[in-house]
Amino acid sequence: MSTGYATPTEEVPLSQPLYGATIGQAVRRFFKKYATFSGRASRSEFWWWALVSVVVATVLYVISLLLGGAGTTVDPATGQAAFGPGYTVGVVLSGIWALATLVPWLALSWRRFHDTNRSGAFYFLMLIPFVGSLIVLVMLALPSDPAGARFDA
Protein backbone atom coordinates (compact mmCIF):
# COMPACT_ATOMS: atom_id res chain seq x y z
CA MET A 1 0.00 0.00 0.00
CA SER A 2 1.34 3.40 -0.99
CA THR A 3 1.78 6.04 1.69
CA GLY A 4 1.55 8.88 -0.80
CA TYR A 5 5.26 9.65 -0.42
CA ALA A 6 7.50 8.65 -3.32
CA THR A 7 10.59 6.57 -2.59
CA PRO A 8 13.43 6.03 -5.04
CA THR A 9 11.99 2.64 -6.06
CA GLU A 10 8.28 3.41 -5.81
CA GLU A 11 6.21 5.72 -8.01
CA VAL A 12 2.98 7.05 -6.53
CA PRO A 13 0.07 6.41 -8.93
CA LEU A 14 -1.40 9.46 -10.63
CA SER A 15 -4.72 8.71 -8.94
CA GLN A 16 -3.13 9.47 -5.55
CA PRO A 17 -1.69 12.74 -4.20
CA LEU A 18 2.10 12.91 -4.09
CA TYR A 19 3.06 14.30 -0.70
CA GLY A 20 6.54 15.80 -0.58
CA ALA A 21 6.69 16.22 -4.38
CA THR A 22 9.76 17.82 -5.86
CA ILE A 23 9.43 20.66 -8.33
CA GLY A 24 10.08 18.33 -11.27
CA GLN A 25 7.54 15.78 -10.07
CA ALA A 26 4.95 18.51 -9.57
CA VAL A 27 5.42 19.85 -13.10
CA ARG A 28 5.27 16.36 -14.66
CA ARG A 29 2.12 15.48 -12.73
CA PHE A 30 0.55 18.83 -13.65
CA PHE A 31 0.82 18.04 -17.36
CA LYS A 32 0.04 14.31 -17.03
CA LYS A 33 -3.19 15.13 -15.19
CA TYR A 34 -4.04 17.91 -17.65
CA ALA A 35 -7.83 17.87 -17.27
CA THR A 36 -8.32 15.45 -14.37
CA PHE A 37 -10.72 16.95 -11.86
CA SER A 38 -11.10 13.78 -9.78
CA GLY A 39 -8.66 12.70 -7.12
CA ARG A 40 -6.47 14.84 -4.90
CA ALA A 41 -3.37 17.04 -5.14
CA SER A 42 -0.97 17.60 -2.27
CA ARG A 43 0.17 21.01 -1.11
CA SER A 44 3.62 20.44 -2.58
CA GLU A 45 2.15 19.51 -5.97
CA PHE A 46 0.03 22.65 -5.96
CA TRP A 47 2.53 25.20 -4.64
CA TRP A 48 5.49 23.98 -6.69
CA TRP A 49 3.38 24.41 -9.81
CA ALA A 50 2.21 27.84 -8.60
CA LEU A 51 5.87 28.88 -8.30
CA VAL A 52 6.73 27.56 -11.78
CA SER A 53 3.71 29.32 -13.25
CA VAL A 54 4.63 32.68 -11.70
CA VAL A 55 8.25 32.36 -12.84
CA VAL A 56 7.25 31.48 -16.43
CA ALA A 57 4.72 34.33 -16.56
CA THR A 58 7.32 36.79 -15.22
CA VAL A 59 9.94 35.64 -17.74
CA LEU A 60 7.45 35.99 -20.61
CA TYR A 61 6.54 39.49 -19.40
CA VAL A 62 10.19 40.56 -19.18
CA ILE A 63 10.84 39.11 -22.64
CA SER A 64 7.93 41.10 -24.05
CA LEU A 65 9.30 44.28 -22.49
CA LEU A 66 12.80 43.60 -23.78
CA LEU A 67 11.59 42.78 -27.29
CA GLY A 68 9.24 45.73 -27.39
CA GLY A 69 11.57 48.40 -26.16
CA ALA A 70 9.61 48.95 -22.94
CA GLY A 71 8.20 52.30 -23.98
CA THR A 72 11.46 53.74 -25.30
CA THR A 73 9.60 55.79 -27.90
CA VAL A 74 6.79 58.25 -27.43
CA ASP A 75 3.91 58.54 -29.86
CA PRO A 76 3.91 62.25 -30.85
CA ALA A 77 0.18 62.25 -31.55
CA THR A 78 -0.90 61.01 -28.11
CA GLY A 79 2.17 61.59 -25.95
CA GLN A 80 2.00 58.01 -24.69
CA ALA A 81 4.81 55.48 -24.61
CA ALA A 82 4.82 53.23 -27.67
CA PHE A 83 5.93 49.62 -27.75
CA GLY A 84 7.67 47.94 -30.65
CA PRO A 85 6.38 44.89 -32.54
CA GLY A 86 8.41 42.57 -30.32
CA TYR A 87 6.13 43.50 -27.44
CA THR A 88 3.17 42.05 -29.34
CA VAL A 89 5.08 38.80 -29.83
CA GLY A 90 5.72 38.61 -26.08
CA VAL A 91 2.09 39.34 -25.27
CA VAL A 92 0.94 36.65 -27.72
CA LEU A 93 3.34 34.13 -26.12
CA SER A 94 1.99 35.07 -22.69
CA GLY A 95 -1.57 34.60 -23.93
CA ILE A 96 -0.75 31.17 -25.38
CA TRP A 97 0.86 30.16 -22.07
CA ALA A 98 -2.19 31.36 -20.12
CA LEU A 99 -4.63 29.51 -22.38
CA ALA A 100 -2.54 26.33 -22.42
CA THR A 101 -2.43 26.16 -18.62
CA LEU A 102 -5.94 27.41 -17.80
CA VAL A 103 -7.74 24.05 -17.69
CA PRO A 104 -4.95 22.21 -15.84
CA TRP A 105 -4.77 25.09 -13.31
CA LEU A 106 -8.48 24.71 -12.64
CA ALA A 107 -8.13 20.92 -12.39
CA LEU A 108 -5.17 21.19 -10.02
CA SER A 109 -7.03 23.66 -7.80
CA TRP A 110 -10.08 21.40 -7.83
CA ARG A 111 -7.95 18.40 -6.74
CA ARG A 112 -6.25 20.54 -4.07
CA PHE A 113 -9.66 21.32 -2.58
CA HIS A 114 -10.41 17.59 -2.58
CA ASP A 115 -7.22 16.99 -0.58
CA THR A 116 -8.54 19.34 2.10
CA ASN A 117 -11.82 17.34 2.10
CA ARG A 118 -13.80 20.05 0.32
CA SER A 119 -15.68 20.01 -2.93
CA GLY A 120 -13.81 21.51 -5.85
CA ALA A 121 -16.78 23.81 -6.31
CA PHE A 122 -15.32 25.94 -3.51
CA TYR A 123 -13.20 27.39 -6.32
CA PHE A 124 -16.25 29.43 -7.33
CA LEU A 125 -15.72 31.52 -4.18
CA MET A 126 -13.25 33.38 -6.43
CA LEU A 127 -16.29 35.09 -7.92
CA ILE A 128 -16.91 37.02 -4.70
CA PRO A 129 -15.50 40.50 -5.29
CA PHE A 130 -12.46 41.60 -3.26
CA VAL A 131 -12.35 38.77 -0.68
CA GLY A 132 -13.11 35.69 -2.80
CA SER A 133 -9.57 35.18 -4.05
CA LEU A 134 -8.19 35.61 -0.53
CA ILE A 135 -10.61 33.01 0.83
CA VAL A 136 -9.64 30.55 -1.91
CA LEU A 137 -5.92 31.22 -1.34
CA VAL A 138 -6.25 30.45 2.37
CA MET A 139 -8.27 27.29 1.68
CA LEU A 140 -5.69 26.05 -0.84
CA ALA A 141 -2.96 26.53 1.76
CA LEU A 142 -4.72 24.39 4.39
CA PRO A 143 -3.15 21.04 5.30
CA SER A 144 -4.36 17.78 3.86
CA ASP A 145 -7.29 16.03 5.48
CA PRO A 146 -7.27 12.20 5.39
CA ALA A 147 -11.05 12.27 4.96
CA GLY A 148 -10.40 13.75 1.49
CA ALA A 149 -9.67 10.18 0.33
CA ARG A 150 -13.38 10.00 -0.47
CA PHE A 151 -12.56 11.95 -3.65
CA ASP A 152 -10.03 9.38 -4.90
CA ALA A 153 -10.88 7.69 -8.19
Over residues 60-106, the pLDDT tens digits come to 988 888 887 655 677 777 777 777 777 888 889 999 999 999 999 99
Sign of CA dihedral 64, 46, 18, 32: negative
74 strand-pairing partners: 81
Give me the pLDDT at residue 41, please: 94
Average pLDDT over residues 126-136: 95
Quote the pLDDT of residue 2. Answer: 54
Query: Considering the chain, what is the average pLDDT of its residues?
Result: 88
Predicted pLDDT of residue 35: 93
CA distance 50 to 84: 30
* Predicted model pTM: 0.83
Q: What is the mean pLDDT of residues 28-47?
A: 94
Q: Alpha-carbon distance 71 to 87, whole Å? A: 10
Domain range list for the chain: 23-145
